[in-house]
Amino acid sequence: MENFDNVRVNTRVRRGFTDIYRREVGLSHPSGFARRFSASEALVQNLNLYGKLNGHEGCVNAVEFNSTGDLLVSGSDDRQVVVWNWASKTKLFAYPSGHSDNIFQTKIMPFTNDSRIVTSAGDGQIRLGVLREDGRADTTLLGKHRGNVYKLALEPGSPHIFYSCGEDGLVQHFDLRNSSATKFLCCSSSMGSNKDSTSKIGLNSIVIDSRNPYYFAVAGSDQYARVYDIRKCQGDAARNSDLPVNTFCPNHLIESDTVHITALAYSSFSELLVSYNDELIYLFEKNAGWGSSPSASSEDLKNIQQAQVYSGHRNQQTVKGVSFFGPSDEYVLSGSDCGHMFIWKKKDAKLVRLMVGDQHVVNQLEPHPHLPILATCGIENDVKIWAPLASDLPPIPVNAKEIIEANRKGREDQTRGTLPPAVIMHALRLQRRQTLAYIERRYNRDDIMSDDEDSEDYILGLSDDVSSEEDSTANSRDCNIS
């Protein structure tokens, strides 16, 4: 077995030298070489820990690169927003967000000189942080949902417009040139035995198709990912009259009422990636949906193209993200309850990299916009950066089968006693708070001040419109669903 592994490694090395030789003698275009090299399986199999970014005092729930990829912004249960130079592994500055609960999303608005950061959190608020030239930050409340707000979606190329989705079922539209949010859409379902009754769908994720930014997808507390056309929406959530232009769901989950979706991602080819809680990950082609009103008739099932399936991980304890990786989205990424990071080839769902990313749970994996670099976060209080580095460790650990089997068994055991998604989400919040009360050591203010050797140089001032949210020295809250 060892000799076989050596042969595979040597083959990858020879292939890499061949590509370099062809570039040097002018037989391949430099840009083409860079794209092929960044997408090579050998490079992905050599992704290893580049460094840890330490500076938060609670679980890190959100990581996001800016559009050029030189900066990284993160948000945490400590309600701080931190901007990093990830390459030098240094914290540039931080500021209290003004949120009163755990931060779940941080995004740098494009074409703003990286001076405007929008955030969402467990308090239902969407806030704007404006970084000033004097090294301070002003925060403003832009809008509010009822319940958690896990995700924001930026309109591609716009420094002003973005959308939020919340557990209240609303999609809200924000334009930073205006002072108020618009309740753009209320996501509801009539997909059941009673077609005349509707119920709101609590939303966990929203993504915009960068290839066709008129389309956005949302998903949450039921089994469907719904795609809407912005041009066809009424822009009035109170009317509750907007229908999706397409819906996506694996055939075997069409009539299920015990699953829900934690995350979505669009590829550069308009493929939709859907991650289910305590189920699997599915990739749907653009035209492989059920239309606006799915049904489980035998004729419909026969005509729907089967989704690609990615398995081995477990997504039960938290609201995990899912991502593509590679210059042409050649790979699929997910964290897992077992603390590992899973990387599959998109085309055939082959697992090509499995590595430990957190002592407890990996929640989010954020690809660099231009380089084969990853940023990840989870239950631990740091952000981890991953880059292609030489290592003696195999890309798939020797105990991979045991890890995958344990995840499968846990998922099947959970399925035997399924509960409605709303009950599951409530139970998860209670479970996480109890578990992390044991895992996380909490410090009082004196402990923080005595242990903090360098954070004072980075903490910025804040001008806030909500006085009750200005306590930046408050202890970190327990990790919530993130």
Examine the pLDDT at 151 and tell me if it is beyond 80.
yes
The whole-number average pLDDT for the span 435-445 is 45
Of 26-40, 236-250, 429-443, where does the model show the most confidence?
Answer: 236-250
**With the C-alpha atoms ordered 111, 181, 273, 383, is the resulting torsion angle positive or negative?**
positive
In the chain, % of residues over pLDDT 70: 73
**With the C-alpha atoms ordered 420, 421, 423, 424, is the resulting torsion angle positive or negative?**
positive
What is the tally of structural domains in the chain? 1
Q: Residue 477 has what pLDDT?
A: 42
Maximum distance among all Cα pairs of the chain, rounded to whole angstroms: 68
Q: Residue 458 has what pLDDT?
A: 28
Q: pLDDT per residue over 329-343, tens digit each?
A: 999 999 999 999 999
Task: Give CA 430 to chain center in angstroms.
Answer: 22
Q: pLDDT per residue over 406-424, tens digit each?
A: 999 998 887 655 545 554 4
- Asked if 121 and 167 touch (Cβ cutoff 8 Å), the reply is no
Examine the pLDDT at 20 and tell me if it is beyond 60.
no
- Asked if 61 and 104 touch (Cβ cutoff 8 Å), the reply is yes
Domain for residue 475, yes or no? no
Compare 7 and 344 and report the one with higher pLDDT: 344
Q: pLDDT per residue over 103-141, tens digit each?
A: 999 999 999 999 999 999 999 999 999 998 887 899 999
Q: Which domain holds residue 244?
A: 13-410
Instruction: Report which of 59, 53, 45 is spatially closest to residue 458, judged by C-alpha positions.
Output: 53
Helices (H) and strands (E) in the chain, counts: 7, 31
- Asked if 59 and 479 touch (Cβ cutoff 8 Å), the reply is yes
Domain for residue 113, yes or no? yes
Strands 90-96 and 272-276: unpaired
pLDDT band at 469 (very low <50, low <70, confident <90, very high): very low
Mean confidence (pLDDT) of the chain: 82
Q: Residue 9 has what pLDDT?
A: 44
For residue 350, what are the contacts with CB-CB under 8 A and spacing of at least 6? 344
pTM (2 decimals)? 0.80
Q: pLDDT per residue over 369-408, tens digit each?
A: 999 999 999 999 999 999 999 888 899 999 999 999 999 9
Q: Residue 191 has what pLDDT?
A: 47
- Return the CATH number at 127: 2.130.10.10
Domain for residue 262, yes or no? yes
Domain for residue 2, yes or no? no
Domain for residue 474, yes or no? no
Examine the pLDDT at 72 and tell me if it is beyond 80.
yes
Of 190-199, 223-232, 464-473, where does the model show the most confidence?
Answer: 223-232
Domain for residue 415, yes or no? no
Domain for residue 57, yes or no? yes
Q: Residue 53 has what pLDDT?
A: 97
Q: pLDDT per residue over 29-58, tens digit each?
A: 555 556 666 778 999 999 999 999 999 999
Of 69-83, 177-191, 427-441, where does the model show the most confidence?
Answer: 69-83
**DSSP letter, residue 459:** B
- Asked if 151 and 126 touch (Cβ cutoff 8 Å), the reply is no
Compare 211 and 37 and report the one with higher pLDDT: 211
Q: Residue 299 has what pLDDT?
A: 65
In the chain, % of residues over pLDDT 90: 62
Q: Residue 24 has what pLDDT?
A: 63
Domain for residue 114, yes or no? yes
For residue 434, what are the contacts with CB-CB under 8 A and spacing of at least 6? none
Q: Residue 394 has what pLDDT?
A: 93
Of 90-99, 155-164, 233-242, 328-337, the range with the lowest mean pLDDT is 233-242
Q: Residue 349 has what pLDDT?
A: 97
- The order of strands in the sheet holding 322-325 is 322-325, 331-335, 340-345, 351-356
